[in-house]
Amino acid sequence: MPIEPNDLGVWGLDWACGLPLIIITVVIHAYGLSLIHKDISATLRRASNSAAFVVGRAALSASVLHALEVICWAIVYRLVGALPNFRSAMLYSLNAMTSYGHADIRLAANWPLLGALEALNGWILFGLTTAFMFTVLDRAWLRTAS
């Protein structure tokens, strides 16, 4: 099916909403990870904490960050009228962010690309979290090995 000129206009709105939100959530995530890093560094300096406790604490904190970013997307879905209520916006957002996509919820027809942009955002955020968690694991295991 060929792309119609109106399709490009609709996609332009998706990009105009999605790209700034990607930037905002990546900045939130990077800042949040830096705060978690400070906390983990202080925790690792105390000899009484096990590696499992440190890793668990970092994982829980990163999960809270992801939840905040899902909420940001859900708010935008509601503000632009892409979804009818906050509950469906939250569920859709979590599904899009994680690329799970299992819920039978669809965005309004005039926002076809916004969910895919959130999935792209999820890949970026989970990539940052994976790199961070690898560093936490490495530091925690090195501390317990010595």
Tokens of 74: 């859900």
> How many separate helices (H) and strands (E) can be counted in the chain?
4, 0
CATH code of 20-145, in short, is 1.10.287
**What gap in Å lies between CA 64 and CA 58, rounded to an integer?**
10
pTM score: 0.88
Instruction: Please determine, for residue 2, whether its predicted confidence score (pLDDT) is greater than 70.
Output: no
Query: For 21-78, how does the pLDDT look when each residue is reduced to its tens digit (9 = 90+)?
Result: 999 999 999 999 999 999 998 888 876 668 888 899 999 999 999 999 999 999 999 9
CB 30 within 8 A of CB 65: no
- What local confidence, expressed as pLDDT, does residue 95 receive? 95
